[in-house]
Amino acid sequence: MRAVGVIGAGQMGAGIAQVSASAGYHVYLSDIDLARAETGKAGIAKALGKLVEKEKITQPDAEALLARIEPVGSYAPMADAALIIEAATEREEIKRKIFEAVGTILGADAVLASNTSSIPITRLAQASSDPARFIGVHFFNPVPVMGLIEIIRGLATSDATVDLVRRYGEALGKQLVFANDAPGFIVNRVLMPMINEACFALGEGVASIRDIDTACRLGLNHPMGPLTLADFIGLDTCLEITNVLFTSTGDPKFRPAPLLQKYVEAGWYGRKVKRGFYDYNGEEPVPTR
């Protein structure tokens, strides 16, 4: 396996491109146009620059890694990739369009994977050219730091597809876990109810934003409190996943907290727009209520 295609050059896609190139793969990186793919590569160059400063990698290694990342303006060059990973916006219609377009260039034995955080793999596979060669490969943010990949098998996914993805994940040095195609898979099934409950607690006046976060950070030994983590992931993404859990199971324990919905309606999506449960415009994050 020489080459990997990555579709989506945002935070997740760029991270996946970086770790794939770091494992020695040639990476074709695409987005809705070449300029965005190039911006994604520029972000990786910046992240590598910091690693060089910290002497985590050498300058020549950083340059060699970057040289393996090729921004592309169409899917055509990915025809020789053994694995194509989609990490586009978490909207089903966008992903479906991508899978239909990729189907026209996907190599005969190549595998198509989605980094979806919660959309059912079996359903997404229907938009691919061959559901046997379709699989979920779920990375965690920040991709270069987080040690896990969840692998999700759809109903039609073949053993050969699972094997190829297993070899890829091992080459990246990540720990792999295997989940069935159930809502939220493993991590989001457990994480989103915690974030949602923190939003209920805040909405009900149980404690302040800072105290909820401090309590979970120090009381549970989590690196970030749940409201800080929600800002980090994106409140829109958290709401989207919680809605998937709620609507696909019908279980009221997953109903989204009204306060989470309100923040999303306000456009306060978290760090990416500099405002969520905290305001990120100053030097230090300041709670917004």
Binding positions for ligand 3HC, rule: CB under 6 A: 47, 54, 117, 140-142, 144-146, 187-188, 191, 223-224, 229, 233, 237
261 is in an annotated binding site: no
CB nearer ligand 3HC, residue 156 or residue 224: 224
3-state secondary structure of 258: helix
| Host H or E run for residue 28 | strand 26-30
11 is in an annotated binding site: yes
**Could you tell me which residues come within 8 angstroms of residue 22 by beta carbon, excluding any fewer than 6 positions away?**
65, 144, 172
Active-site position among 118, 150, 196, 240: 150
Q: Is 138 a catalytic site residue?
A: yes
Peptide bond connecting 142 to the previous residue in cis, omega within 30 degrees of 0? yes
CB of 277 to ligand 3HC, least distance (A): 15
Active-site position among 70, 138, 196, 240: 138
49 is in an annotated binding site: no
CB of 146 to ligand 3HC, least distance (A): 6
CB nearer ligand 3HC, residue 131 or residue 136: 136
CB of 148 to ligand 3HC, least distance (A): 9
CB nearer ligand 3HC, residue 3 or residue 113: 113
CB nearer ligand 3HC, residue 1 or residue 187: 187
**Pairing mode, strands 134-138 and 111-114:** parallel
31 is in an annotated binding site: yes
Question: Which of 223, 179, 218, 216 is closest to 194 using CA atoms?
Answer: 216
CB of 105 to ligand 3HC, least distance (A): 27
8 is in an annotated binding site: yes
Among all chains, which residue has been given the structure tokens 């607690």?
A: 201
219 is in an annotated binding site: no
Structure tokens at 98: 């991508």
259 close to 202: Cβ distance less than 8 angstroms? yes
Q: How far apart are CA 250 and CA 243, in angstroms?
A: 10
Q: How far apart are CA 104 and CA 109, in angstroms?
A: 13
Question: Which of 157, 142, 151, 145 is closest to 170 using CA atoms?
Answer: 151
Active-site position among 20, 117, 118, 128: 117
CB nearer ligand 3HC, residue 83 or residue 152: 152
CB atoms within 10 A of CB 21: 24
Structure tokens at 174: 């990540």
Active-site position among 30, 115, 188, 196: 188
**Minimal CB distance residue for ligand 3HC:** 117
Q: Is 222 a catalytic site residue?
A: no
CB of 142 to ligand 3HC, least distance (A): 3
| Host H or E run for residue 72 | strand 69-72
Q: Is 283 a catalytic site residue?
A: no
Q: How far apart are CA 233 and CA 142, in angstroms?
A: 10
Q: Is 150 a catalytic site residue?
A: yes
CB of 11 to ligand 3HC, least distance (A): 8
Integer Rg of the chain from CA: 19
Point out the annotated binding site for NAD(+). 8-13, 31, 90, 95, 117, 141, 272
Point out the annotated binding site. 8-13, 31, 90, 95, 117, 141, 272
For the annotated catalytic residues, the residue numbers are 117, 138, 150, 188
